[in-house]
Amino acid sequence: MLGLTVAQVRAWVRSGLLEPERGPRGELRFSPQDLALLRAARGLAGARIGPRRIEQALSKLREQIPGPESLAELEILAEGKHIVVTDGSARWQPESGQILMEFEGVHANRGPVPAPRSRGEGEKMAGPLRGAVDIAAARLSSRVRRSETAEVWYERGCELEETDAGEAQDAYRRALALDPSHADAHVNLGRLLHESGDAADAEEHYHAALAARPDDATAAFNLGVALEDLGRDVEAIGAYEKAVALDPEHADAYFNLAGACERVGHPAAAIRHLKAYRALVRSRSQ
């Protein structure tokens, strides 16, 4: 209907941007508000806005509007690198909440702003102090460039997921070659490997993501799914328990945790987790 991949929709469900209900067979049922958000996400992705910015902007927008009916009436567009929302009478940027107003003859400064100078023109440091500062600056610049390059490859991978999962994997690998502790790249690469049927390699990347960022509930949840697919339910239970400890409102983790507990012969725990799942689903539907 919307021209989005299953992986994209699943990713936005996991992030909490979408809040579908579960049907009687466990299937996801999307509300009109969810569909409006998906349409907006598709348009922004087509304008080459990165997935993380799309998720952050639409999550904030959902907090800024009164209800799903109002959301369907909004126009959500990319203007250059900015995400702009219009409701017919006002225009604003959902990421910052800033209202946009046009004034005739006034033009915003869209370029970089130079840092203020602390010395007079032509004044220089001399001797050992200058050398030490130059070395420190060079080291800092190198670290910044390295980090930025890894982030560029990560964002490139997010964009490529829409058209070529194989190329997206290569982009995430290049990000990790530059920054092995890039948790988001590990999570996304693991997910793509997992969806292609390679749960074992996916497991390694989820572990690496948690080593770099121990409070990552998404990595813990994904690890649980990979371990389930590998037939290691006891370990999967540990991963899901970590996910709900980090994010007590992670409904899918409770649902999967209930199933894993039932399979290993812990019916009381399974019932407890299923009740937690149902309570979360009911609270979201109210």
Give the per-residue pLDDT at 75: 80
Q: State the DSSP code for 214.
A: T
Give the per-residue pLDDT at 2: 67
Average pLDDT value over all residues in the chain: 76
Give the per-residue pLDDT at 91: 77
- On the CB side of 14, how many CA atoms lie within 13 Å of its CA? 20
Query: Residue 232: pLDDT band by 50, 70, 90 thresholds?
Result: very high
Give the per-residue pLDDT at 202: 93
Q: Which domains does the chain have, with CATH numbers?
A: 1-74 (1.10.1660.10)
Give the per-residue pLDDT at 6: 73
pLDDT tens for 184-222 read 999 999 999 988 889 999 999 999 999 999 999 999 999
pLDDT tens for 39-48 read 777 777 766 6
Query: Residue 80: pLDDT band by 50, 70, 90 thresholds?
Result: confident
Average pLDDT over residues 151-180: 89
* Helix residue ranges per DSSP H, the chain: 6-15, 32-46, 51-64, 68-72, 127-160, 165-178, 183-195, 199-212, 217-229, 233-246, 251-263, 267-285
pLDDT tens for 110-145 read 322 222 333 333 334 344 444 444 444 444 444 444
Instruction: Select the more confidently predicted residue: 121 or 54.
Output: 54
Token pair belonging to 218: 């998404």
- Which strands make up the sheet holding 98-99, listed edge to edge? 75-79, 82-86, 91-93, 98-99
Most confident by average pLDDT, 3-17, 29-43, 53-67, 165-179: 165-179
Query: Residue 101: pLDDT band by 50, 70, 90 thresholds?
Result: low
Q: What are phi and psi of 194, to 5 degrees?
A: -60, -45
Please count the residues of the chain. Answer: 286
Instruction: Select the more confidently predicted residue: 4 or 231.
Output: 231
Contact by Cβ (8 Å): 229, 248: no
Amino acid at 213: R
Give the per-residue pLDDT at 173: 93
Average pLDDT over residues 159-184: 90
Give the per-residue pLDDT at 220: 93
Query: Residue 13: pLDDT band by 50, 70, 90 thresholds?
Result: confident
